[in-house]
Amino acid sequence: MIAPVLVFGWGNPSRGDDALGPLFVEAVEAMKLPGVECLTDFQLQVEHALDLKGRERVLFVDASADAAAPYELKRIEAARDASFTSHAVSPQTILQVFEALEGATAPPAWLLAVRGDLWELGAPLGACARGNLDAALAGFTTWLSGPGGKVSAALKSSTPAAA
């Protein structure tokens, strides 16, 4: 059975704040939320369009040097952009590839851009990024239980207390 909600984070855990996407996914996975599947990778690739099949909602999560702190959350639509032919692709392109492959509209999707500032190889996650991650996780529970959030009742009964 395919979980209705997909949380997909990407980034390089060895490059400081670029680890925000994978760390977000790790924290959501630890919540053991029914109806939520978590995936992570170093970067998005066109093959990830296949992971959208059967989903009702998708949350893409990445670190961003451009997002306002602590994070920005926005609804995204399928679009072919310049990244389509590059080494890495955008979430909008993943949605576009899904629509081309399936001949159907992609599931509703959002991009959660968590503010990061440190990107050096071997650097740990920065203190500001840690705070931004915590805020993004709190925002996630609101997103998940919001309109269209069919797992809201399960979320309320299974969200662990803050540590």
pLDDT of 19 strictly over 60: yes
Strand residue runs (E) in the chain: 5-10, 36-41, 57-64, 71-76, 109-115
Bridge partners, 131 (sequence order): none
pLDDT score of 147: 62
Bridge partners, 12 (sequence order): none
Report helix, strand and coil shares of the chain as percent, to nearest 5. Answer: 40, 20, 40
* pLDDT-above-90 percentage for the chain: 78
pLDDT tens sequence across 109-136: 999 999 999 999 999 999 999 999 999 9
Q: What's the pLDDT band for 152 if we cut at 50, 70, 90?
A: very low
pLDDT of 12 strictly over 60: yes
Specify whether the CB–CB gap between 121 and 14 falls below 8 A. yes
Specify whether the CB–CB gap between 6 and 58 falls below 8 A. yes
Specify whether the CB–CB gap between 123 and 117 falls below 8 A. no
Q: How far is CA 36 from CA 2, 72, 82, 115, 121, in A?
A: 9, 21, 31, 24, 31
